[in-house]
Structure 1
Amino acid sequence: MGVRFEELAWHRTRMGDISLWRRVDPVSHTDVYEVKLGDEYLMSSLFTVAEVELARLALAAHPGAAIDVVVGGLGLGFTGRTVLDDPRVASLTVVDAVAEVIGWHRDGLLPFAAALTADDRSRLVHGDFFAMAAGAGFDPDAPGRRFHVVAVDIDHSPRHLLHPGHAAFYTVDGLTALTRHLYPGGVFALWSNDPPDPEFTATLDEVFATSVAHVVTFANPVQGGESANTVYVATAS
């Protein structure tokens, strides 16, 4: 019998120690990949519905073709892979603050990552998404470049942050700065582990022309029953 629980990678970051684990699920007998920050679980390949829906809902809100997309937060790559499934997508830029996480994908530690790393439309960028949003943008080779869609899955929610330095992004000023990197009619989407937050929705409504908070439900075989996340989708003027 193979190893049931294995640490594949470990790195120290400004947010804490981040690690990648593989375990064999006792029910399905399949490999499950999980990312931890310290002792806290960040994501699991067992639960990917919300990551997929982040991409799907963001792209569904944009009617155009030849869409240029930014994904903030690489993680296990499910949001990025779903973006690339849309034939309208011309380019995908995935920004992650941890170079080693990008390395997990490039080095093949995640066997399902090949579709993301091998696609000519896809680029993995090592950088601080929040600093880039407040500054010259998400393309290091083209400062000021605009995009049609920006989808973010980094913090647990606008209130539960991985680092206090991220807080300014979720304000009117922070989101207004983000809109400078969107084309007119561009889409901003955000994953949250919390229920819809009326205060954050009001902030979105102050900055964007429209906003919707989608509740995404999925089966939870670990806890039993059903769990829910939120995907906010907002459209710029």
Structure 2
Amino acid sequence: MEYVELARAESERGELVLRDRREADGASVLELRVNGIFVMDSAEVSSEQALAEAALARVAQPRDVLVGGLGLGYTVHAVTADRRVERCTVVEVEEALVGWMRDGTVPHGPSVLADDRVRVVVAELGSAVAEARDEGFDLVLLDVDNGPHFLVHDGNARLYRTDFVRQTRRIIRPGGAMAVWSMDRAADVLDALESVFDEVEAVPCPVRLQERDETYWLLVGTVAP
């Protein structure tokens, strides 16, 4: 395979690199890396689709959705494919990544962000949730990592603890939910959700990654109507 670097940025969290990976068959694949570690690419997007669809299916009226983590925009795109969604707020800590999505460095980025239902907030998710109004959202999707045991940044660990879950519960309307994407059935996250929400569910989500079948998990806390 061949790689062409498209963009690079430095922040207090380290190095962010976007590159074009040319596969053996000539296919061009966008790849995002943080501090040298693979985060996501444009070839395998079934997990983002599964996250959005499974979470949206658990809320009767997901008018206002908060997505933690922009990535390459596939989760947001899947959320806005649901016409029940009237507003989608995306919180992304890396300003450079938002810029690459807006200016076309990520080719599909401008079309994803052109949807007038989408609003991007450049902030750390914990701070954004703390500042949000009470009962402002019907659904909160946590998609900043692959769960508490596969962190992009060590500082994200607090996003899976009871204090943050309780803060998130504050901004969710009756009948709404918080959904956490995870590579494993994280018992610690389930415990945190159970201490705060009325109902908790661990939803297995089969996905196809790199020609193999995997099972990811959507950990959902729901507020009673």
Corresponding residue SS for 2:180: strand
CA offsets per residue over residues 151-206 of structure 1, 9 Å max, x none?
1111231233333333333222221111111111211111112x212232122112
CA offsets per residue over residues 8-61 of structure 1, 9 Å max, x none?
11111222211111112224x322111101221011111111111111111111
Matching residue's letter, 2:182: S
Query: 37, 46, 51: which is aligned to 1:40?
Result: 37
Measured after TM superposition, the shift of residue 4 of structure 1 is 4.0
Task: Determine the structure 2 residue equivalent to 1:60.
Answer: 57
Q: Residues 34 and 44 of structure 1 are in contact (CA less than 8 Å); yes or no, is this contact kept in structure 2?
A: yes
- Alpha-carbon separation, structure 2, partners of 1:14 and 1:231: 30
Task: Determine the structure 1 residue equivalent to 2:214.
Answer: 227
* 1:1-237 paired onto structure 2 within 5 Å: 4-27=2-25, 29-64=26-61, 67-133=63-129, 135-137=130-132, 143-144=133-134, 146-193=136-183, 195-221=184-210, 224-237=211-224
Corresponding residue SS for 2:195: helix
Q: Residues 72 and 154 of structure 1 are in contact (CA less than 8 Å); yes or no, is this contact kept in structure 2?
A: yes
- Normalised to the residue count of structure 2, the TM-score between the two structures is 0.92
Corresponding residue SS for 1:57: helix
- Alpha-carbon separation, structure 2, partners of 1:18 and 1:214: 31
Measured after TM superposition, the shift of residue 145 of structure 1 is 6.3
Moved more, 10-19 or 99-108: 10-19
What is the number of residues matched between the two proteins? 224
Q: Residues 192 and 230 of structure 1 are in contact (CA less than 8 Å); yes or no, is this contact kept in structure 2?
A: yes
CA offsets per residue over residues 86-123 of structure 1, 9 Å max, x none?
11110111110011100111001122223321111111
Q: Residues 49 and 78 of structure 2 are in contact (CA less than 8 Å); yes or no, is this contact kept in structure 1?
A: yes
Q: Residues 72 and 150 of structure 1 are in contact (CA less than 8 Å); yes or no, is this contact kept in structure 2?
A: yes
Moved more, 166-175 or 77-86: 166-175
Measured after TM superposition, the shift of residue 144 of structure 1 is 4.5
Distance 1:207 1:33, change over 3 A: same
- Normalised to the residue count of structure 1, the TM-score between the two structures is 0.87
Q: Percent identity?
A: 31
- Alpha-carbon separation, structure 1, partners of 2:156 and 2:208: 30
